[in-house]
Amino acid sequence: MLPKFLTDKNLTPNVTINPSLNYLGTESAFDFGAKVMEVEKSGKFPQIYKFHVGDTGPKTPEPIINTAIKALQDKQTKYGHFAGYPQVRENIARYWSKTRGVNITKDNVMLQPGGKPVIEMSIQALVAPGDKIIVQNPGYPIYASLAEFYNHGNVLNWNARRDENKNTLEFEVEDLKKILSENNQVKLLMLNTPQNPTGMVFGKEKLEQIAELVREYKCFVVFDDIYDQIVFGGDKHQFSFLSLPGMLDYTINLNGFSKNFAMTGWRLGFIVAPTWVIEIFGKFAINKYTAVPRFSQIVAGVIFGEVELDGCKYEYIGDKVQEIINKDFIQYENKGKFVEAALRLLSPYVVPNVAEGAFYLFPSFHKVLDLPYVKNDLKIKSDKQLVDWLLTEKGIATLAGSDFGSMGAGFVRFSYAEDRDNHIIPGMKHVLKVVIELIEKSNATPPLLAADVDTKIEELVKKYFA
């Protein structure tokens, strides 16, 4: 059988293709984003309120851009070091040692184009026939996509528990322990915190419990903390898995510059892992993409220290950059708390989780989907159909929870990375009024009247953005 992503577009190869392509998933934010652009271009709505984009609202800080310009003016355009120039990796290792409280050297660090390559390379390097991979459900879809592509039949879901009364999700360590105890040859656990799509953050206690299981069952962890600085409640960084005794030996740490430094389009990331893993990944790099661009490597280095390359010196910009991005992080937290509070006005029909980190919320829309008008008149039966209707009929762009795994069914992902005044505030007013209309057309009593929405939202604006 041909993969659905080909048949949907009536594309037929003229040769036989890899049957494993049937298991290859996607990241719906990009596919759905194309549809958002189509609706936007149609002019059907004065504005599309964008809560679907997992991109950063702020722009790349000016000191980073200026360094890149200088590097290009210095003609730093030839091949770069396949793993990252030693001085760049030393700068990252020094910073990581300081913030994680564990001794990391340049030989534990490798640059990569974005964050995704490490997911594939970890599977290719570590997973042998019969080995199993554990992914979070719901979770960042590329983990499940690549795990299924390379290892279909041996992918296990760590399902978040849904509290039927609160309509919230939680990953319980005892469920992970059950998976490990009942399955032989578990090789990899994909762990993401702060998490996409939920925005939940694993605290120190939960990570310690997971580390204990890692020691017992000797599995490796791909620890994705690419949102590590975007954590709310006063913590500058989340607690790292690498900080736990012995975990450097069992961890491939995925991090980078996309989210923390508003550099998504730069495709610049890095890995922290045992030296033998880095050695393997270096061979992969040479075979796959050769190297991260030289000017990007310079930028990566100066965020953490000074860099000198080919007689050209580049000054440390970390303090200047940190001052800028700290303001961005405050805005993320304020927007997250605002969206959470706004959605809570629709309870019990919409139930948001607590905004903890990254820039996502994952509210339950189960009771909206259960409304008679939604089911019987609009014929909407799923979160995917609801999200499609919200876009095409109401000009609201969100992502379906089920795009992140079966446990996301009935939930909707809201990203609050976009501009506060152009999208977040007016967009939430629109969301509330749309849901209230659905409730009223179902002959039910809404938790507030549409006429009161503007006043309630303005009260929240004063509370979180004053």
Q: What is the pLDDT of residues 11-39, one digit of tens each?
A: 999 999 999 999 999 887 778 888 999 99
pLDDT of residue 464: 97
DSSP code at position 299: H
State the Rg of the chain over Cα.
23
Q: How far apart are CA 317 and CA 286, in angstroms?
A: 30
CA-CA distances (angstroms) from residue 359 to 96, 134, 461?
23, 24, 18
Angle at 237 between CA 231 and CA 240, to 5 degrees: 115
User: Which residues touch 159 (CB under 8 Å, ≥6 apart)?
Assistant: 137, 175, 406, 407
Higher pLDDT among residues 239 and 69, named by residue: 69
CA-CA distances (angstroms) from residue 238 to 202, 225, 270, 294, 321?
8, 8, 18, 30, 19
pLDDT of residue 254: 97
Q: Mean pLDDT throughout 158-176?
A: 89
| Confidence band, pLDDT 50/70/90 cuts, at residue 237 | low
Percent of the chain beyond pLDDT 70? 99
- Kind and range of the H or E run holding 357: none
pLDDT of residue 28: 79
Verify cis geometry, omega within 30 degrees of 0, for the bond prior to 141: no
pLDDT of residue 236: 58
- Kind and range of the H or E run holding 198: none
pLDDT at 400 exceeding the cut of 70: yes
pTM of the model: 0.95
CA-CA distances (angstroms) from residue 139 to 32, 35, 158, 247?
17, 22, 9, 22
For 387, counting Cβ atoms within 10 Å of its Cβ (0-12 exposed, 13-18 middle, 19+ buried), the class is: buried
Question: Going from the N-terminus, what domains does the chain have, and what CATH number goes with each?
Answer: 4-58+324-465 (3.90.1150.10), 75-320 (3.40.640.10)
pLDDT of residue 295: 97
User: Which residues touch 361 (CB under 8 Å, ≥6 apart)?
Assistant: 198, 199, 336, 339, 340, 343, 352, 353, 355, 413, 414, 416
Q: How far apart are CA 448 and CA 456, in angstroms?
A: 9
**Paired tokens of 372:** 């008679």
pLDDT at 246 exceeding the cut of 90: yes
Higher pLDDT among residues 239 and 14, named by residue: 14
pLDDT at 383 exceeding the cut of 80: yes
Q: Mean pLDDT throughout 400-427?
A: 96
- Kind and range of the H or E run holding 142: helix 141-151
pLDDT of residue 163: 84
**Residue type at position 426:** P
Q: Mean pLDDT throughout 320-344?
A: 96
The CA-based dihedral angle spanning residues 32, 38, 44, 45, taken in that order and rounded to the nearest 10 degrees: 50
DSSP code at position 21: G
Q: What is the mean pLDDT of the chain?
A: 95
Range name among 231-245, 332-346, 448-462 with the lowest pLDDT average = 231-245
